[in-house]
Structure 1
Amino acid sequence: MEATFEVATLVGHHYRVDDYYEVGREKIREYARAVQDFHPVHWSEDAASELGYAGLVAPTTFFSIPAMLANRKLFETVVTGYDVFVQTDQVFDMHKPVVTGDRLVSDVELASVRRVAGNDLLTVKNTFTDQTGEVVQVMHTTLAGITGENVAAGISDVIERVVMHGVEIPSRATGVAADQPMAPTPVPSLSEVSRTRLPHTTIRFEDLAVGAELPPRTAQLTRGDLVNYAGVAGDANPIHWHDNVATLTGLPDVIAHGMLTMGLGAGFVTGWLGDPGALTRYGVRLSSYTVIDARSVGNVEFTGRVKSLDPETRTAVIVIVAKSAGRKVFGLATANVRLA
């Protein structure tokens, strides 16, 4: 079924968020706990200082929080006409570590739209700059906009009865006319701090070989973990905590947030590295989901191996595999890292 408007005409729509997002010390800790990332630089100023950071370091996927706030206008008033959005791909390009007290401003752009298997795949680009005007991270988020026969009738009414107040519900019946696309606000040149700072990794480049495997990790998730992540990250989608809504969208049960599993995967890599600031790019394509039954604990098993090494830049590409109940959660996931 076609969307109720030609979404492709909105490609290039851009705005800069009016206010900044200030990175809080306790918010970093809350998020690190939510994604089970216990690297000391997210918790202790002394540990962060030892690695050369001026404050607690935000985990790799922390930017999903200000991105959720920044993108609200896009999905509430511009890209309307869908019943449900499902995340499919995510890419984080890190240009500068973000620490306590940094003030982030986001430029939001609808970067592309593709039609695949009857659904629109929308890619949203978030460019984050800090108080110095430098770009600190660029995110590309791809979502499938689902309408009509792919979801049960009346799902918007069901969601409205269970979701928290103050959250707009996507509805094909209540689209709001979009502003005219704007020329993008000039974005400062990309900072290369993450590419030039001396990494303090516990793994040295000379100790690695192509094919080397990372120590495996198994993360456990309960419904409580999903509810906690939803609150910390500001993701109110009830498919992650409400059985009836999950069923109406065609899911077998409540599923973990894609961004939560990505956060677990990022921590898997940075824990091995020893220095979260040495991760410069993290890309994940989701191929399945992690079902979390109300009566049991769900497991996500992470493994990784070195795909390639570059001796000139002392960098490596790591391939990450995530599985749950025998299904591959990540279709393709890679991390680019710099090594001591």
Structure 2
Amino acid sequence: MTTDTEPSELRIQAEVGRYTIAKTFEVTARSITAFAGGVNDFNPVYFEDDRPGGLIAHPGMVFSWQWNSRFTPDLEYPLELVRRGVHAWVDVQFERHAREGDVITSQGQSVAVKQVRPGVLSAQRFAFRDSQGGTVAIMDTGGITRGAELDGEEIELASAPPLPQRSSDNGDLVWSTTFAIDPQAPHVYTECADIWNPIHTERKVALAAGLPDIILHGSANILIALREVINRNLDGDPTRLRRFAGQFRGMVIPGKDVTVNALEARDEGDREVIFYEMRNHLGELAIANGVVIAS
């Protein structure tokens, strides 16, 4: 719940442990094909619904489930703090991949608050479970409320396991690809993923928020990069994906080019680790410190 009353001070209580609403989603051929189409990911595993075992859910569907179960209606949150919030990072781990016919319940919990130089960092953990209670995936994600101060001590109930680090930074690329983002991409993704924020689709709102134009969703950016990694490094097989992570940085403007770079690919025997990034048309990082772990 939000309130129009602006706080006299931009302070955030040092509280964690609160749960979001739980919401349940049926994984259907319609939802899978729509989501994959929303990020121009035309891998046959998301579209050929006559294949044995049915369709594999696009791994990015966790963003749709998370977005639609993020609400805490029993918590009043000043609109001024909402306006100052920016999505900072995401880290998703898969126990298995959802498939057509699965029923997935999503619920989040606030797990950490910390004071950082730009403001207050808040972290949430979302669990995605099937109808038998089995864990399908875990998403650790967080954002920063710019200019805010933490009222109380820093708290951390849980955090994602450490990510692998690059072994070198010599500037050599494994591969690089540049392509244009369709002008209508934010509108298509909004409807196909059921993730709506008017800064992505309504220019008047974007300009009022200080943006140069509508911008593509951060989750769409990371999934477009992930599409390239899966197709180029995992033989187009998303079921090999065990974990992906990245930090949200600069803006991607519809109609402009983006570049996805694979910075390093490492075979560690029982797993493959790929480090990637996305840059916008100005060469600025849109997705930084990207990591994919696969079988």
TM-score range, shorter chain: 0.7 to 0.9
Residue of structure 2 in register with 1:259 after alignment: 219
- 1:64 pairs with 2:63: yes
Q: Does 1:276 align with 2:260?
A: no
The equivalent position to 1:217 in structure 2, one of 164, 177, 181, is: 177
SS at match of 1:223: coil
Q: Which moves more between the two structures, 85-94 or 301-310?
A: 301-310
Q: Is 1:33 matched up with 2:30?
A: no
Question: Aligned with 2:33: secondary structure?
Answer: helix
> Which moved further from structure 2: 215-224 or 61-70?
215-224
- Which of these residues, 179, 190, 199, is aligned with residue 230 of structure 1? 190
- Say whether residues 1:250 and 2:254 are aligned partners: no
For 1:63 and 1:319, the matched residues in 2 are separated by: 21
**Greater C-alpha Rg:** 1
Residue number in structure 2 paired with 1:133 = 133
Partner residue in 1 for 2:248: 286
TM-score, scaled to structure 2:
0.81
What residue in structure 2 maps to residue 302 of structure 1?
260
Contact 1:306 1:316 in 2 (8 A): no
Alignment of 1:67-146 (within 5 A): 67-71=66-70, 73-74=71-72, 76-78=73-75, 80-81=77-78, 82-84=81-83, 85-146=85-146
Equivalent residue in structure 2 for 1:14, among 19, 38, 41: 19
Deviation string 1:11-52 (CA, Å, 9 cap, x unpaired) is 1112561x52111111111110111111110111355x3xxx
Fraction of identical pairs, as percent? 21
Mapped to 1, the partners of 2:193 and 2:76 lie a distance apart of: 22
User: Where in structure 2 are the equivalents of 1:142-181 lying within 5 Å?
Assistant: 142-146=142-146
RMSD across aligned positions (CA): 2.6
Deviations 1:63-114 (A, max 9, x none): 111111111x22x542612232321101111110111111011231011122
In structure 2, C-alpha distance between the alignment counterparts of 1:252 and 1:137, rounded to whole Å: 35
Query: What SS is found at the alignment partner of 2:195?
Result: coil
Are residues 213 and 40 of structure 1, via their aligned partners in 2, closer, same or farther at CA, if it must alter by over 3 Å? farther
Q: Gaps spanning 5+ residues in structure 2: where?
A: 1-6, 149-156, 158-170
Change (3 A) 1:250 1:34: same
CA positional deviation for 1:243: 2.3
Moved more, 324-333 or 139-148: 139-148
Deviation at 1:246, TM superposition (A): 1.9
Distance 1:3 1:92, change over 3 A: farther
Q: 1:44 aligns with which of 36, 48, 53?
A: 48
In 2: Cα distance, 1:2 partner to 1:260 partner: 36
Runs (5+) with no aligned partner, structure 1: 149-182, 184-210
Is the helix fraction higher in 1 or 2? 1
